[in-house]
Structure 1
Amino acid sequence: MWSQASEQMQLPDLYSKLFWNCIFNDTTDCLLYNPHEKDIIYIRAAPSRLLASCGKWLLMIDSQSRLYVIDVFSGNKIDLPPLESLKSNDSFLKRMEDKDKEFEWEFSEGYVYLLHTDEIRARLWIDEKAEEIALVWFFDSPACFLGFYKKGNAHYDLIPITYDIARILTGMLCLILRGYCLYILTMRRFVRVIDFSMKQGFEEVTGIDPDPYSPIFPPLRYHCHFSIAVTTLGEVLFVTSTKNNEMAFRIYKMDPNAEPDDHMPDLLDVDSLGDEALLLDLGITVPANYTLGIKPNSIYFTHHNLIHSKKVWNKVDHVLPPYDVDICVFNLSTKTLEPFPAPSNMTLKDARLIFS
């Protein structure tokens, strides 16, 4: 079966066709909030932490460091393999005895990393029509590997990002999961692409040993936050944001006419996304859909200004002031920002835009 039924929560049909905010307050309650109607629907209070979202599905980790995904509208739940099922030829992940949140990552050579699940980050992809699920997770410190899962597996495949790979592929500034394709912006600003569509393992689409002079994104000339995004056609975009008095976004792509020997081509401004919108939390573009309320040539985001703040990421129990949890849509045509107001008198820890 596609999902394992748990407690059910039926919403009116109209609700599942609109953008909602899935928000978490300082008591770990999970709530659905409609910013237009000001409706709040309580879902559950559970000792779990949100790792990622896709559509109406949330990827969570509970107090015993078990991963699961849950449909916030129906309550359907899918339990995932244990973290220690990570598959590797030269290392293994071991849960510490009597410690639910601590693991050891031990190598055959004998050296060991001590890891804590409060530092796990993740990305999620779910296609309900095809009944497919994929996700990646990693420890923020040290970020030495990724664990990948797709439907049907009883384990996670290990993807190295530090050891045993070409130098240009090492490190990870940000990553996007779209279907069974994983896009990683490496420390040298090269876009690494990994394909998981085969039955077993994965394929390095960028090549096992790419040309060290392959095109890379040039360094930025000013201070800002940045990430990559992938369009419906598979084109990689470079997205920057600045926040002074107001938040502003710019989108770039590599010059397709750059000379073959130009390993750092100029970036071209992308003035319009056309009939698509960018869901920045997922790092993907989707077709505009007025039924869902998805406006064309717009950027939807909830916490973009916090993505690269290590101080906030590592303090997972830190309570963020309401003004630090952005829930907004940015119109690229008018360069204007439309905030989705948070519920009054509520201190937020996290938020996601969800829809079905």
Structure 2
Amino acid sequence: MSNNVNWSDLHSDVLQLILERLNIITYVRTRTVCKNWYAVCKRITSVQEKSPWLIIFPAGRPKCGSCVVVDFSTVPLTGIYKFYSLHNLGDDFSTHRCIATSGSWLLMLNPRSSLYVLNVFTRERIDLPQLESHQGRLRIERRQETTFIINKSLVTARNAINKTNAVLWVDEKTKRYIVVWSIGFFYMMYTRSGLDFWSEIPTREGPENLHGCQDIAFKDNKLYVLSRQNQIRILDFSQELPLALANNVEHQPFTNERPWRVKIGVTVSGHVLMVKNRVGEGPKMLKILKRDPEGTSWDTVESLEGEAWIMDLGVTIPAVNWTKPNSVYICKDKLVYLGDVSTRELRKVLDLNWDRRLSHARWFFPSLREL
């Protein structure tokens, strides 16, 4: 066989079969080989990893527009994490913080407390409305470069990051999006594609009756809010305006367990989960409960029945490929944990504190749709 093979002339059907089996990083690189290969890539409607990856963000450094992603699928076979670098994400990228993800889209918060959405593979960017555009009872006014006022309360960018909850949803095909953001416990707002302003989600009055926000999750056009009154409120975002549903979940069972941090999630079938995880000093533990079918009590979950909970995304997924079933994937700043639901133990799988150039990490599902 001749070594002078022109790989750009490889039969398109054969090439497509090969490309469909590549991981997303290799696929993105393959698109740039030549025009013929790029044309075949355009025939592939979408590429999406079935197992979660880790994205690691840089610490604030001048003109650092790169980040690192980690493919965990190689670990079961080789015991080695596979790292890839992504570049050209913007000169100021390292000074911004990711607060939510949807596929390969990141919801970023910059030092001036402005938000935007960025695709780490295509570099597409969606600038969200400025907070001053807010329509509701909140009065927002900027002071200096890193602070702004909500009503009469002065909020710094640091506090906004440390006390924020956010969810992001992006349709890969149409680029339609929904963003919900809360600052502290009592200020929630949302925007979506087609709007040039932020709207308030009332937390202290009105039919939503949220009474504050401890955590939020989003699935199938429904926003799940864990309120300060230890209830889970459900808002339907399928219409133009979010609508509070009647099937709220009341009386969460973790009210007085101070050493624990409460998070909520939604299973593939739509059941609401609640977890307390302890990742500070002492034993690393987690405890998951699920509302029983009659809605009268919370039952301890000893198995996710073949699913895995990606806590950064607030949802469970089918445990296929290299995703470990009955596990909880957790990131806390520069520490990455894997929890076992049956034993309730949290095991540290990656510690990034050894590198000062790194800031924080999040789980995400790399995806790319060809248009």
Corresponding residue for 1:27? Answer: 60
Distance, in Å, in 1 between the alignment partners of 2:353 and 2:158 is 28
Name the residue aligned to 1:148.
190
Matched, 1:238 2:274: yes
1:8-41 per-position Cα deviation (integer Å, ceiling 9, x unaligned): xx93129963643211243355421326444241
- 1:31-70 to structure 2, matched below 5 A, reads 31-34=67-70, 36-43=80-87, 44=89, 46=92, 47-70=95-118
Distance in 1, Cα, partners of 2:275 & 2:343: 17
Structure-2 separation of matches of 1:52 and 1:155: 20
Counterpart check, 1:229 vs 2:271: no
Pick the aligned partner of 1:76 from 120, 124, 140: 124
Say what the alpha-carbon RMSD is for the aligned residues.
3.0
- Offset of 1:280 from its aligned partner? 0.8
2:27 aligned residue: 13
Larger Rg: 2
Match in the other structure for 2:365: 355
Which whole-Å CA distance do the structure 1 matches of 2:169 and 2:338 have between them? 22
Instruction: Extract unaligned runs of 5+ from structure 1.
Output: 1-9, 107-111, 259-264, 304-323
Counterparts of 1:21 and 1:133, CA distance in 2: 22
1:256 aligned counterpart, secondary structure: coil
Selected match of 1:296 from 301, 314, 325: 325
Q: Could you tell which deviates more after superposition, 274-283 or 336-345?
A: 336-345
* In 1: Cα distance, 2:173 partner to 2:130 partner: 26
> Shift of the alpha carbon at 1:179?
4.3
Flag the 1:345–1:188 CA change in 2: closer, same or farther, 3 A. closer
Q: Is the 8 A contact 1:329 1:339 kept in 2?
A: yes
1:65 to partner: Cα distance: 3.5
Q: Which amino acid aligns with 2:271?
A: E
- Percent of aligned pairs sharing the same letter: 27
TM-score (norm 2): 0.71
Offset of 1:148 from its aligned partner?
Answer: 0.5
Residue 146 of structure 2 corresponds to 101
Deviations 1:83-109 (A, max 9, x none): 111112x4442334xx23333334xxx
| Aligned residue in 2 for 1:247 | 284
Residues of 1 paired with 2:274 and 2:338: CA distance? 18
Contact 1:115 1:139 in 2 (8 A): no
Displacement of 1:333: 4.5
Question: Deviation digits for residues 295-325 of structure 1, max 9, x if unmatched?
Answer: 222111112xxxxxxxxxxxxxxxxxxxx63
Is 1:269 aligned to residue 300 of structure 2? yes
- Superimposed CA distance per residue, residues 198-217 of structure 1 (whole angstroms, 9 cap, x where no aligned partner): 12x2211138xx8xxx7411
Conserved? CA contact 2:187–2:212, under 8 Å? no
Is the Cα–Cα contact under 8 Å of residues 138 and 147 in structure 1 kept in the other structure?
yes
Secondary structure, counterpart of 1:327 in structure 2: strand
Distance in 2 (alpha carbons) for counterparts of 1:155 and 1:179: 23
Aligned length, in residue pairs:
302
Structure 1 SS opposite 2:132: helix
User: How far did 1:66 drift?
Assistant: 2.8
Q: 1:195: Cα distance to partner?
A: 1.5
Q: Match of 1:138, as an amino acid?
A: S
Q: Match for 1:76: what amino acid?
A: E
Partner of 1:315: none
Post-superposition Cα deviations, 1:252-273, rounded to whole Å, max 9, x if no partner, equal 1223336xxxxxx442111111
Deviations 1:152-191 (A, max 9, x none): 21111111112x3379631222221224321111122111
- Partners of 1:61 and 1:350 lie apart in 2 by 14
Q: Secondary structure at the match of 2:158?
A: helix
SS of 2:299 mapped into structure 1? strand
Q: 2:179: which partner in 1?
A: 135
State the Cα distance separating 1:343 from its structure 2 match.
5.3
Go from structure 1 to structure 2 and tell me whether the alpha carbon gap of 1:256 and 1:42 turns closer, same or farther (over 3 Å shift).
closer
Q: Does 1:197 align with 2:238?
A: yes
Q: What is the distance in 1 between the residues matched to 2:131 and 2:250?
A: 35
* Kept in 2: contact 1:168–1:188 (CA 8 A): no
Instruction: Evaluate the alpha carbon distance shift between residue 95 and residue 220 of structure 1 in structure 2; reply closer, same or farther with a 3 A threshold.
Output: closer
Query: Counterpart of 2:219?
Result: 178
Shift of 1:49: 2.3
CA pair 245-330 structure 1, distance change in 2 beyond 3 A: same
TM-score under structure 1 length normalisation: 0.74
Q: Is the 8 A contact 1:240 1:250 kept in 2?
A: yes
